[in-house]
């Protein structure tokens, strides 16, 4: 099969299982983000792909050729680390040409290739500078140019923006994505930042506890999360606990209709998940379907949107409305809050311990994943 394919890859370190049965395909020419919380196995997976770790089980192939035991230096993969790992005693140009020097490429070709790469990452004017005389963003560009010097078949980046400040991160994410598209190179980026993954990736692999929870385009993952973990880790989400009866979900006495009847037998404990932009304020009528009632506890303006916190009997629900919506919202007043049927996700309810863990892993509080 074309592309980079991982079959049943597992990695254990003594008692610790870092990766469990990973099956993944990284399509040729696409950018895939490995996204997940700290300790979920992202770096281990990237290191196995790079050939810096050996899987305990399973195999890897590139365009149909088994590379499971191929040493890192024979894989022709380029890698950029969190720290950039540049040589401080060499100039920018020498850093970029380094791998070509090691491979015995002649000096003239080396300089020409280094020049092309520095042009590509817009660092040609800094060719003779030392690494210590560069900003974080400039160092990152040099690290990218150096990794691309050998025309890698696969480009691997481990948290490449983590050393940069928030504004520069955003700029570099766009630049890196444009560069990847221009070069059409198969790229895998490790990140724990969902916004970074959504900005850059064709496909996101959401990981948790050594498994891949969901694989899909940024839109798919956001619009159609397949597990509560994915719903809580990507974007914001309100969580409600309910029970299925006749295809509806009851949260206390309130009935919730979904786009299609809930696919669980009567009495099943389930979790409803709703994005804040799919909750809307309405009349405080506790008898209406999909509507909870409670006082507004907090309102905050966050630029283009306004977030309204409503404390219902089922817990806090956050509604996100456009700032252009001038409906008066008064702190302390009781309101209704309706969750739109078509945008409600229904999952089997995890055992209490597992739910806490899921929410904790995503760095969330109460029943709102913000
Ligand atoms: P982070 O975002 O914090 O870098 P990660 O998702 O990249 O985390 P990994 O570094 O892949 O996670 O680690 C996955 C699990 O494997 C963790 O529990 C980690 O402690 C464990 N682990 C990783 N490397 C080793 C090792 N060499 N020896 C023992 N355990 C390890």
The 10s digit of each residue's pLDDT in 232-286 is 999 999 999 999 999 999 999 999 999 998 989 999 999 999 999 999 999 998 7
Overall number of domains in the chain: 2
CATH assignment of the domain containing 134: 3.40.50.300
As a whole number of angstroms, the distance between CA 60 and CA 75 comes to 12
Domain limit, last residue, from 166, 194, 228: 228
Is residue 214 in some structural domain? yes
Q: Within the chain, how many helices (H) and strands (E) appear? A: 10, 21
Ligand 1 centroid–CA 323 distance in Å is: 42
Q: What is the pLDDT of residue 360?
A: 44
Is residue 362 in some structural domain? no
Q: What is the pLDDT of residue 350?
A: 67
As a whole number of angstroms, the distance between CA 151 and CA 157 comes to 15
Ligand 1 pocket (Cβ < 6 Å) reads: 13, 16, 18, 36, 38-44, 192
Report the Cα–Cα distance between both ends of the chain, in Å, rounded: 40
Q: What is the pLDDT of residue 135?
A: 87
| Closest C-alpha residue for ligand 1 atom 27 | 13
| Closest C-alpha residue for ligand 1 atom 2 | 38
CATH assignment of the domain containing 329: 2.40.50.100
Ligand 1 centroid–CA 43 distance in Å is: 7
Q: What is the pLDDT of residue 7?
A: 97
Q: How confident is the model at residue 73 (pLDDT cuts 50, 70, 90)?
A: confident
Domain limit, last residue, from 182, 201, 228: 228
Q: How confident is the model at residue 359 (pLDDT cuts 50, 70, 90)?
A: very low
Assess whether 77 and 223 both reside in one domain. yes
Residue 164, pLDDT above cutoff 80? no
Across 56-68, average pLDDT: 96
Which strands form 315-322's sheet, in the order they lie side by side?
A: 279-282, 334-339, 291-302, 305-312, 315-322
Catalogue the long-range contacts made by 355-362 (C-beta closer than 8 Å, 24 or more residues apart).
355/228, 355/271, 358/208, 358/228, 358/229, 358/232, 359/232, 359/239, 361/37, 361/208, 361/229, 361/233, 362/37, 362/229, 362/232, 362/233
Assess whether 131 and 175 both reside in one domain. yes
Assess whether 182 and 312 both reside in one domain. no
Backbone angles phi, psi at 183, to 5 degrees: -85, -15
- What tokens appear for 342 in the block? 């078509």
Residue 356, pLDDT above cutoff 70? no
Assess whether 154 and 60 both reside in one domain. yes
- What tokens appear for 97 in the block? 């040409």
Q: What is the pLDDT of residue 366?
A: 38
pLDDT tens by residue, 306-341: 999 999 999 999 999 999 988 889 999 999 999 999
As a whole number of angstroms, the distance between CA 5 and CA 70 comes to 14
| Closest C-alpha residue for ligand 1 atom 16 | 18
Q: What is the pLDDT of residue 351?
A: 61
Assess whether 216 and 253 both reside in one domain. no
Calculate the average pLDDT of the chain: 89
pLDDT tens by residue, 102-146: 878 888 888 888 898 898 888 899 999 999 889 888 888 899 889
Q: What is the pLDDT of residue 138?
A: 87
Assess whether 207 and 257 both reside in one domain. no
Assess whether 153 and 270 both reside in one domain. no
Residue 68's domain spans which residues?
A: 2-228
């Amino acid at each position: 099969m074309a592309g980079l394919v991982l079959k049943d890859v597992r990695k254990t370190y003594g008692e610790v299982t870092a990766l469990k049965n990973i099956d993944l395909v990284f399509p040729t020419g696409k950018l895939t983000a490995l996204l997940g919380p700290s300790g979920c196995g992202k770096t281990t997976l990237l290191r196995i792909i790079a050939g810096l770790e050996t899987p305990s089980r399973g195999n890897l192939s590139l365009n149909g050729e088994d590379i499971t035991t191929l040493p890192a230096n024979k894989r022709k993969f380029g890698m950029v680390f969190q720290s950039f790992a540049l040589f401080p005693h060499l100039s920018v140009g020498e850093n970029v040409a380094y791998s070509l020097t090691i491979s015995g490429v002649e000096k003239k070709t080396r300089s020409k290739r280094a020049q092309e790469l520095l042009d590509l990452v817009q660092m040609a004017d800094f060719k003779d500078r030392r690494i210590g005389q560069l900003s974080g963003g400039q160092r990152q560009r040099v690290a990218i140019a150096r990794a691309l010097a050998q025309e890698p078949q696969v480009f691997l980046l481990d948290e490449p923006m983590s050393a940069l400040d928030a504004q520069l991160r955003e700029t570099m994410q766009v630049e890196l994505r444009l560069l990847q598209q221009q070069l059409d190179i198969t790229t895998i980026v490790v990140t724990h930042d969902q916004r970074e993954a959504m900005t850059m990736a064709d496909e996101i692999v959401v990981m948790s506890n050594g498994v891949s929870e969901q694989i899909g385009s940024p839109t798919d993952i956001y619009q159609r999360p397949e597990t509560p973990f994915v719903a809580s880790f990507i974007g914001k989400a309100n969580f409600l606990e309910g029970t299925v009866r006749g295809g509806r979900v009851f949260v206390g006495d309130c009935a919730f209709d979904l786009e299609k009847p809930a696919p669980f037998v009567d009495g099943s404990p389930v979790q409803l998940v709703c994005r804040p932009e799919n909750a809307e304020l309405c009349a405080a009528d506790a008898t209406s379907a999909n509507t909870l009632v409670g006082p507004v506890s907090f309102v905050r303006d966050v630029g283009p949107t306004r977030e309204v916190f409503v404390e219902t009997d089922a817990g806090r629900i956050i509604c996100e409305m456009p700032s252009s919506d001038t409906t008066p919202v008064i702190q302390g007043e009781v309101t209704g809050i309706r969750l739109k049927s078509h945008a409600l996700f229904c999952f089997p309810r995890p055992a209490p311990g597992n739910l806490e863990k899921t929410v904790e892993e995503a760095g969330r509080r109460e029943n709102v994943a913000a």
